[in-house]
Structure 1
């Protein structure tokens, strides 16, 4: 009887074996694959065959190549509900995972453009933040809000805190509604460097405007997330 595996290309057999190790947890998310020579020896294949198998898994978003560092196992997707008003920290920690906000930049009184114009007059402030899940980057966020309206929020966000938690604790404000526009494109050079992804992997670009109960704009966010890290769901 013919061995069924003999009919499957060798690179595909390797791809399936590596995928099985990821799904079983033997290769944990966020960990780097063993060196290429070790993988070739353990799977009994050439570098060309191994590289094709790994290339297929990178194209599927299961592995991520990082220049100069190696290839790591992509984190499992975060499930986000589009009509949810939960903040990032609340969503991630509700899944039993660890959230983080790393501040990459801050600008006081930046020129407003695009959706941020809807903040109106005041004292706008802009933060560039990297939102992390279990210590790994998930979303690059450009966040605008009115520092004059929410002065107590500025220091908490600057210290890496949650915007929604700071709004609730310092201003007694809760989001009542939100608008989102979602597009799909490719990452810029700087974005690829931050996420450690190749130019071939698409990203979500989300413009989000959050409102209070009086329909006043609380904050405006531009969010960039690699598509292989998140799945969006619609709740009706």
Structure 2
């Protein structure tokens, strides 16, 4: 610690040291902090001082105490702009983070007449995907589009690629996106896949993407734990 840091209260020095350890990768996001005894020895402080520092970091949203398990380091929230047309991969790449799409299921010609009508689709196709941030689950997505209209997009998406990138590779440019956002709780199956608790709120987002002529390109239904994402609006 530098001279200026020694002017701070001891708990604040510890708080900053733990935060620096998180930022440097000493304490990995998604993992548990070392035990209280280990941290007390590492920083040379009392249990009271350590607990105040950890309490402040919990209040800031960087740490989360889990009863009977310890204190987990929460991943940094992804900042997403609601009016942005960027896909998941583009958003994560722009933040310098490694994205991934894991295919959970695929269904050709699913019985979904309402979605078929909204997309004006002749041959509806559905992909259930898990969007990952550095290998960690972030968002469950059900992606729907017209397989007959966009046959060249199917193989790249099935291989875990970006839907937006596949469209653009085939000369199709998304121009508009409309989102409807609700907040609720995840189903048991969603909680298992996203590795969250029963009381963790999630965003439920329905997104319809259209082209410059306002023809629908795709519909996505997304489930994202609220502690992973912050949404902003730019006008």
The TM-score with structure 1 as length reference comes to: 0.78
CA contact (8 A) 2:107 2:127 kept: yes
User: How big is the shift at 1:34?
Assistant: 2.7
Task: Please report how far the alpha carbon of residue 68 of structure 1 lies from its aligned counterpart in structure 2 after TM superposition.
Answer: 11
- Residue number among 17, 21, 26 corresponding to 2:18 in the alignment: 21
- Is the 8 Å Cα contact of residues 205 and 223 (structure 1) preserved in structure 2? yes
Q: Is the 8 A contact 1:185 1:205 kept in 2?
A: yes
Q: Deviations over 1:138-190 (max 9, x none)?
A: 111010001111111111000000001111113x1111111100011111111
Q: Deviations over 1:41-66 (max 9, x none)?
A: 877559xx97xx98997787534689
State how far apart, in whole Å, the 2-side matches of 1:36 and 1:182 are: 40
Say if 2:77 is the partner of 1:80. Answer: no
Change (3 A) 1:59 1:187: farther
User: Counterpart of 2:156?
Assistant: 156
Whole-angstrom distance in 2 between the partners of 1:150 and 1:127: 14
**Greater relative CO, 1 or 2 (CA 8 Å, sep 6+):** 1
The reply on whether 1:179 has 2:171 as its aligned counterpart is no
Instruction: List per-residue Cα deviations over 1:103-143 (Å, max 9, x = no partner).
Output: 11111111116555411241111111111112211111010
Tell me if structure 2 keeps the 8 A contact 1:33–1:70. yes
For the residues of structure 2 that align with 1:184 and 1:102, how far apart are their CA atoms?
A: 24
Aligned pairs (5 A) from 1:67-216: 72-112=72-112, 115=115, 117-170=117-170, 172-216=171-215
The equivalent of 1:32 in structure 2 is 32
Q: CA RMSD in A?
A: 3.3
- The residue that corresponds to 1:9 in the other structure is none
SS of the residue aligned with 2:227?
helix
The aligned counterpart of 2:4 is none
Q: Secondary structure at the match of 1:137?
A: strand
CA distance in 1, matches of 2:204, 2:59: 19
Give the TM-score normalised by structure 2: 0.79
2:110–2:125 contact (8 Å) kept in structure 1? yes
User: Structure 1 residues 72 and 232 mapped into 2: Cα distance closer, same or farther (>3 Å)?
Assistant: same
How many pairs were matched up?
A: 222
Is 1:115–1:209's contact at 8 Å kept on the other side of the alignment?
no
Which is worse superposed, 60-69 or 103-112?
60-69
Q: Distance in 2 between matches of 1:197 and 1:65?
A: 14
Distance in 2, matches of 1:58 and 1:102, equals: 31
CA distance change for structure 1 residues 231 and 143 in 2, over 3 Å: closer, same or farther?
same
SS for the counterpart of 1:228 is coil
